[in-house]
Structure 1
Amino acid sequence: MECDKCGRDAVMHAGYSGAHLCEEHFRASVEKRVRRRIRRDGLVPQDASPGDPERWVIGLSGGKDSVVLAQILDETFGRDPRIELVALTIHEGIEGYRDESVDACVELAAELDLRHELVSYEEEFGVRMDDVVEDDPEGMAPCAYCGVFRRDLLETYAAEFDADILLTGHNLDDEAQTALMNVLEGDVKQMAKHFDASLGPFDERTDDAGFVPRAKPLRDVPEKEVALYAQLRELPAHITECPHASEAFRGEIQELLLKLEENHPGTRHSIVSGYEELASMAADRYRGESTPEMEACDRCGSQTTGDVCRKCRLLESLAAT
């Protein structure tokens, strides 16, 4: 196959658009979509001064998505005096797997001369995911524990670093899976949380509630294209599935979407686009309704709707085993 733009050998064919692209034009296409999403979500500060830049914290796991995100953000804003980039890596305590991905994070941060912060479950909570999986007092999937702990640390340290935005590497497949899961579960309130009219499709929590806003610049790029981009640029990504990954429902949705995309190219884009519109309408529906007030957790001080946050309840359950 030849590249549609220059006639050179194509490295990829996008079924959803019909495009055949060579390496140069494929890389440019990925970067263009990421930067366009950043503009659409209004992330670039208009009033920040060189002496007081906005701080963007990147959740850098060492996987392909976060590594690609960090690379493109650095090339786009690394020398922009309005923005300061900080990489935050979380070590969950998964022997072998996380050690290798942390090495990838360290290597990339050094190459980009990027400020890099590393925190761990063990240091912060006194637990390791390997031990959590073995004990499992709540009888939950490992991802359920890990998701709570990781989110807590991302939020805590983004706030500690006085971040203006927390950026994560969720790609198009991730977003389409989440959208379809919420629709199939009939969770309209969860849809509403994914949209805020004042910010656009940021994460549901904003600094108005004491949380650093999140953004997902890779959300328009399919997972396979993110992986190809990382490969072509020889980025130090650790492309291996977590040995404890066991989100059964999401796995089923993933397989379903891959099949649908194969038979009906563009399905993922359509799902995400339609979901954003539904989420916007759902946000209008629930906006103004009384919601539980956020208060400080009695144990750790994190924002929660109850006396004790979910993280602390899980940690207490683990300590009792």
Structure 2
Amino acid sequence: MECTKCDREAVMHAAYSGAHLCETHFRESVERRVRKRVREDSLLSGDATPEDPETWVIGLSGGKDSVVLTHVLHETFEEDPRVELVGLTIHEGIEGYRDRSLEACVELAEGLGVRHEVVSYEDEFGVRMDEVVEDDPEDMAACAYCGVFRRDLLSTYAEELGADKLLTGHNLDDEAQTALMNFLEGDVAQIAKHFDASLGGFSERKEGDEFVPRAKPLRDVPEKEVALYAHLLDLPAHITECPHSSEAYRGEIQRLLYELEENHPGTRHSIMAGYEELGGIVSEEYDDRSADLGECERCGSTTTREVCRKCSLLEAIEAV
């Protein structure tokens, strides 16, 4: 099959658009969508200058999504001194798995000349995920512990690194799954929080904001296209599922969306278009920034509880 835009052989077919694209036009398509999202979400402040650039911290796991995001943003801003990229890798303490993905992060960062920082659960919290999973003091999925710890370290170190934005590599499939889960759970407040935190609910950080603004510039690109992009460019991505991954409900939603997309191409895009419009409306009613924020009695981090969720989990782990 020939490329829709030229006479070269197509390497992919986007059923949702009907396009067949060769390698060159496919790569350009992915990069164009990421750059368009950067513009539409107003990620680059008009105040950024070569003398006073913005710092964008990328949650760099070594998986295909964060590796592709880092590569595209580096290509975009390599000659633009208004943006400094910093890769931040979190080592959870999962034997074999994270060590190999860390190697991919190091290889990518060195190859691009991007600053790279690594922090670990063991150094910061005195725990390793392998041990947490084995003890499981709260009787819950590994991802529930890991998500809390990871978000805490990403936020903490983004702040320490002077980040103006914290970027993560969530793709279209990730976001459509989250949107559908929030719909099915009837969680309107979470929809508002999701929008404000990372779906374009901000233009720039404002004085007095408690958190570094987050963004997901890869969220218009389907997962399979991210994987193909990484493959075609031979990027050093570690494409292996975490051995502790156990989000059963998300897995059901993922399979449902695959089937819907197969039968009705464009379903994921439609879900996200409606979800983001709804998020913008409900965020005015459920304004997360107006919540009563205080300091955690144990670590001093910002929280709506007396003891933040991270510290309550660590207390449970220490009690085992």
Q: TM-score range by the shorter chain?
A: over 0.9
Q: Give the drift of 1:290.
A: 9.6
**TM alignment of 1:235-246, pairs within 5 A:** 235-246=235-246
The 8 Å contact of residues 294 and 304 in structure 2, kept in 1 or not, is answered as: yes
Q: Which residue of 1 aligns with 2:227?
A: 227
**TM alignment of 1:158-307, pairs within 5 A:** 158-196=158-196, 200-201=200-201, 208-287=208-287, 291-307=290-306
Q: Which residue of 1 aligns with 2:37?
A: 37
Q: Give the drift of 1:109.
A: 0.3
Give distance in 2, aligned partners of 1:167 and 1:208. Answer: 20
Give distance in 2, aligned partners of 1:73 and 1:278. Answer: 28
Q: Residues 202, 12 of structure 1: CA spacing in aligned structure 2 closer, same or farther, 3 A cutoff?
A: farther
Q: Which residue of 2 aligns with 1:80?
A: 80
Q: Give the drift of 1:243.
A: 0.4
Report how many residues are paired.
318
Q: Give the drift of 1:129.
A: 0.5
Structure 1 ranges of 4+ moved more than 2 A: 194-197, 199-203, 205-209, 284-287, 289-292
Give distance in 2, aligned partners of 1:143 and 1:298. Answer: 25
Q: Give the drift of 1:33.
A: 0.3
Give distance in 2, aligned partners of 1:77 and 1:165. Answer: 15
Q: Which residue of 2 aligns with 1:15?
A: 15
Q: Give the drift of 1:206.
A: 7.7
Please state whether the residue corresponding to 2:285 is helix, strand or coil: helix
Q: Which amino acid aligns with 2:74?
A: D
Gaps of 5+ in 2: none
Q: Which residue of 2 aligns with 1:90?
A: 90
Q: Residues 133, 156 of structure 1: CA spacing in aligned structure 2 closer, same or farther, 3 A cutoff?
A: same
Give distance in 2, aligned partners of 1:9 and 1:79. Answer: 32
Structural RMSD (CA) = 1.8
Q: Give the drift of 1:88.
A: 0.3
Give distance in 2, aligned partners of 1:290 and 1:164. Answer: 17
**TM alignment of 1:33-72, pairs within 5 A:** 33-72=33-72
Q: Give the drift of 1:223.
A: 0.2
Residues 86-115 of structure 1: CA deviation (Å, up to 9, x unaligned): 110000000011000000000000000110
Q: Give the drift of 1:202.
A: 5.4
Please state whether the residue corresponding to 1:170 is helix, strand or coil: coil
The 8 Å contact of residues 193 and 286 in structure 2, kept in 1 or not, is answered as: no
Give distance in 2, aligned partners of 1:11 and 1:93. Answer: 38
The 8 Å contact of residues 63 and 237 in structure 1, kept in 2 or not, is answered as: yes
Please state whether the residue corresponding to 1:195 is helix, strand or coil: helix
Give distance in 1, aligned partners of 2:127 and 2:202. Answer: 31
1:142 has 2:147 as partner? no
Q: Give the drift of 1:291.
A: 5.0
Residues 211-258 of structure 1: CA deviation (Å, up to 9, x unaligned): 100000000000000000000000000000000000011010000000
Give distance in 2, aligned partners of 1:124 and 1:112. Answer: 28
Q: Residues 137, 78 of structure 1: CA spacing in aligned structure 2 closer, same or farther, 3 A cutoff?
A: same
Give distance in 2, aligned partners of 1:206 and 1:194. Answer: 18
Q: Which amino acid aligns with 2:182?
A: N
Q: Residues 134, 290 of structure 1: CA spacing in aligned structure 2 closer, same or farther, 3 A cutoff?
A: closer
Q: Residues 174, 207 of structure 1: CA spacing in aligned structure 2 closer, same or farther, 3 A cutoff?
A: farther
Give distance in 2, aligned partners of 1:263 and 1:200. Answer: 29
The 8 Å contact of residues 206 and 213 in structure 1, kept in 2 or not, is answered as: no
